[in-house]
Structure formats: C-alpha cells, structure tokens
A and B are shown apart, each in its own frame.
Chain A
C-alpha cells in the first residue's frame, strides 16, 4: 500500500467521519442532539471541501466551502435550534424500537452503496474517487434515518443530511457541480427550511404536536 499524501489521508478521515456521523444520526434518539450532529456533519463537509479546493486549486470550491460553512454549519442548525426552542420540543426524543436492527440494515445499505458506487469510482479520474461510495452511503443512510422517524423535526434533519451526502458525492465524483447549480441548490435548501419553519408552526397550531402519527387521515379508503 503506497502511502497517500497527507491531504488525501485527511480527506479519507473526513469521509470516514461523515459515515460515522450518518450512523450516529441513525441511532440518535434526542432531537436536539440530531441537530448538533447535523451541524458537525456540515463542519466535516466544509473541511473536506476546503481540502479538495486546496488540493485542486479550484477557487469555486473555496466558495462552496464557505457556503457550506455559512449555511449548513451556522445558519440552518441555528434556525433548527431556534425552532426547537420556540416550538418547545427541546426534550423530545424519538421513540425508536429496535435500534440494533436499524443499524444492521444500515450496514447492509452501506455495502449496497459501495456496490452502487463501484462503477462510478472505476471511471472517475478525480483523486477523491474512493470516497464516492461513502457519499452514496451517507445519502442512503440519511434516507433510512428519514423513513424510520416519526417526528417532523427528525425527518427534516434526515433530509438535510441527505443533501449533505449528495453534495459530498458531487464533490468526490466531479470536484463539485458548476457554481450556478450549487448556488441554486443552496438557495432551494434555504427556502425549503424557511418554508418548513412556517409549516411547523401551522402543524403545531393544528395538532399541538409535531408527531406525524396524527397524519393518518388521508389514507385510501379500503
């Protein structure tokens, strides 16, 4: 095994951390901690982006690292924490049965993701191609987080984490999307969160809770 240069090693550590954080989110019961984990994930992503930017000398990646820092590390977690305080769900926990089973499912998903990323990694000519699999895995794990949750807030955290995974995938496979697209995606995420902020209050006003098990009325009549 030829020793990698230090920045690639550090990037690998970042990728591994992202994967670890995805699992941590999958198993985390407390909603506030979920938001913290999300912020941490954003921070790792930011470091990884900056590393790639430094390595490749692509200035637009510095910009997107800054964007990540501003949006995903600072603003969105701040917004979510504020929402949590305002909605008074600070002590909410997710009633999750069988975390172990979910974890095992998560491991299977990671293996699946690695398989999925194999052909892409094989074709990639970026020096970060080995992390594509991890990015796909993070995305799918976030998806799993979303579908195993019952609380609106944790579903949203899962959604944002999924976006983080996709962002990382774009970076590993192609050193990021063109700037205009990245800006657009960031704008969409931002607007989505603002819309959700409004939306949460509407749900709360109606149901006095953010539990989605109230949402059972619109089933197809059998």
Chain B
C-alpha cells in the first residue's frame, strides 16, 4: 500500500460525496431541457441540502432511536460503497476487504435501514413506501447480482477493480453478453434509484410514490442526509456501470499520478453522458403501475441471465 493508493482512495470518496448532488442536478437540468421547461440550476441540490441543514429537526413523538440513526447509517453505507467502487483508479486499499458481492450487501443494508426507519414512525405512507421499496429491492437484487456474475465470469474475479482492470486490457470487441447485462443493469439502476418508470422522484403522488413515501417523516438535517445519500446512491450505481461496461480511461494498475489526474476529467465526461442518457430514458418512458414493476424487473433479470447464458455458450 503506497501513498498514491491512499491518495486515490481518499480522492474517490471525496469526489463521490462532493459530486453526487451535482450529478443529480445535471440529470434534473437535462430532463428540464428535454421537457421544454426552464431548468433549475445544476447546483440546486446543494442549495436544498444546505437549506435543510440550517433548519430545526422535527421528529415524530413515537419514533425510536432507529429513526434518528438511520440517516447516518444510510449515508455512511453509501459513502463506504463509494469507496469500494473503482471510479477513477483500480488500486484501492479498501477493495481488498470487499468485493462486488459485499457491495451489493452494503447497498442492501442501506435499504433495510431506510425501510425500517420508514416503518418506525408508524404512519401509513411510510409503511407503504417501505413495502414497495422492499418489493423492488427483492426483485432488483438478483438481477444486479446476475449482472455482476457475468462480468465476474468474463474476468474470473468478483473484485470490481480487478474486473475493470481486466476489461480495459481486453481487446475491444463485441460482447453480446455484456450488451445484455448492460441493458439489465440500466433497468436495475432505474428501479433502484426510484426513477421513472418505477418511481417518479419529482412527485409526491401518494398512489405511486415509493422512495418519497419513506422520507415523508424526515426533516432538516436527517432529510438532508437522506437526500444526499440518495444522490450518492445514484452516483454509485453510475460508477458501477462505468466499472463494468465502460472502464476505459480509468487509472489501471499501479498508475502514476498523471493517469489519476486524467481519470478525473474522463469520469466527468462519462457522468455528463450518462446523466443525459438517463434523462432521455426517463423522458421518453412512461411510469409503470406499481403492479407492473415486477414484470419490469423480471425482464431485467431475464436480460442478465440471458447475458450469462450467452456468455457461457458463446464465450463472448
């Protein structure tokens, strides 16, 4: 473990935490443009978070301590996840302890605490949101794992940095299996982050909301942390996607500092493109009824398994 590795690790965490709201802001701006609305500033999520931090917290009288610690746990889990996803470099000290499966577990931990906290205050909406969230999670997780397995099979490891490294050194070719899993991953990303077509982050419509329903009881700094964690989650998913499907430009191996410096703008470009792509998908698709969500996620699972099978058969 050397200085550069530690530096990379620190930089990754800082960039992730700092840039996550910006990424969210960028998506919102793209969506606004695509929908012919005048766009809010890209910095709007920062302002919201800052505003929330300056407020006094109101907590339901009958809620337990769980309700208060949950935001910190969720935010912490997301930060930790950001630490083990190779977004800029592959020599990350943390990843020695946690591979891709652990990452999925970390994300699941955050989900469980969020759902528990939502049910803690005992309101109807919280419970409803928690139940829906768990349903989506229960369907999305196998698909996500399957996606990771395909990439793992190709590079014979479950460690995300090693997968990225392997894929960057591989000759550029057409991989139907990776194409299928990329589609599956995008669908999982949409579902897990409460985007259209599963959830609509922009509304509080009680019949359809999932993520927002869980946060209804939160205010001030707790809400700020939850919102920030949600932005971080989206950022993390995007970075997992890059690591698996677009690893080029990452500082592979024991890279020199200049490779790391190059990796930052490359990541920025990828994020800009991914954000506009997501905005486009969200704009052109319609929100599904909650009951159709299993079908959507089953399709994602199907794609992932198809990718797996195609890989096993064709070796590509």
Is there direct touching of A and B in the complex, by C-beta distance under 8 Å? yes
Could you tell me which A residues sit within 8 Å of B by CB distance? Answer: 1, 3-4, 6, 9-10, 12-13, 15-17, 19-20, 23, 27, 99-100, 103, 107, 110-111, 114, 130-131, 133-134
Indicate if the CB atoms of A16 and B294 lie closer than 8 Å.
no
**Sample of 13 further A-B pairs with CB below 8 A, known A9-B174, A107-B306:** A1-B315, A3-B171, A9-B173, A9-B316, A12-B176, A12-B310, A19-B306, A19-B309, A27-B299, A100-B298, A114-B313, A130-B313, A134-B314
Are B310 and A19 interface neighbours, CB within 8 A?
A: yes
- Residues of chain A within 8 A (CB-CB) of B177 are 16
Is residue B302 contacting chain A, with contact meaning CB distance below 8 A?
yes
Q: Give, as a whole number of angstroms, the nearest-CB distance from A123 to chain B.
A: 16
Inter-subunit contact A100/B294 (CB<8 Å): yes
- B176 to A15, Cβ gap below 8 A? yes
Q: Which one of B154, B176, B302, B312 contacts A103 once the chains associate, using CB atoms below 8 Å?
A: B302
Cα(A100)–Cα(B313), bound, Å: 24
Contact pattern, B 154-198, Cβ under 8 Å of A = 1, otherwise 0: 100000000000000011011011011000000000000000000
Closest B residue to A114 using CB positions: B313
Write out the residue numbers on chain B whose beta carbons fall within 8 Å of the beta carbon of A6.
173-174
Q: Interface residues of A: mostly helix, strand, loop or mixed?
A: helix
The answer on a CB contact under 8 Å between B298 and A12 is: no
* Distance from A102 Cβ to chain B, minimum over Cβ atoms (Å): 10
Contact B310–A16 (Cβ < 8 Å): yes
Main secondary structure of the interface of B (DSSP, over half): helix
Q: In the bound complex, do residue B176 and residue A13 qualify as a contact, i.e. CB atoms below 8 Å apart?
A: yes
Cα of A10 to Cα of B176 in the assembled complex, Å: 9
Q: Is B305 an interface residue (CB 8 A)?
A: yes
Residues of B within 8 A of A (CB): 154, 170-171, 173-174, 176-177, 179-180, 294-295, 298-299, 302, 305-306, 309-310, 312-316
- A148, B316: Cα distance in complex, Å: 31
* Interface Cβ pair total, 8 Å cutoff: 67
A sample of 18 inter-chain contacts (CB < 8 A) reads A6-B173, A6-B174, A9-B316, A13-B174, A13-B179, A15-B176, A15-B310, A16-B179, A16-B306, A19-B310, A20-B306, A99-B295, A99-B298, A100-B295, A103-B302, A107-B302, A107-B309, A131-B313
* A15 (CB) vs chain B CBs: closest residue: B314
Given A23-B302, A99-B295, A103-B298: A16 touches B315 (CB 8 Å cut-off): no
A9 CA to B176 CA, complexed, in Å = 9
Say whether A10 contacts B295, CB under 8 Å.
no
- CB of B185 to closest CB in A, whole Å: 16
Among A12, A27, A100, A110, point to the contact of B309 (Cβ < 8 A). A110
Q: How many whole Å from B142's CB to the nearest CB in chain A? A: 12
| Contact with B314, one of A12, A23, A27, A107 (Cβ below 8 angstroms) | A12
Q: Which residues from chain A contact B314 at a C-beta distance below 8 Å? A: 12, 15-16, 130-131, 134
- List chain A residues, Cβ under 8 A from B154: 1
Q: How far is the CA of A103 from the CA of B177 in the complex (A)?
A: 18
- Does A111 lie within 8 Å of B176, measured CB to CB? no
Contact of A111 among B170, B173, B295, B309 (CB under 8 A): B309
- Residue in B closest to A10 when the chains form the complex, CB atoms: B174
- Inter-chain CA distance A12–B180, complex, in Å, is 13
Chain A min CB distance to B131 (Å): 19
Known A-B contacts A13-B174, A107-B305, A110-B309; A20 and B180 likewise in contact (beta carbons under 8 Å)? yes
Question: A23 contacts B306, CB within 8 Å?
Answer: yes
Residue of B154, B298, B305, B314 with highest tally of chain A CB at under 10 A = B314
Q: In the A-B complex, list the 4 residue pairs whose CB atoms are closest, starting with the nearest.
A: A16-B176, A3-B171, A9-B174, A100-B298
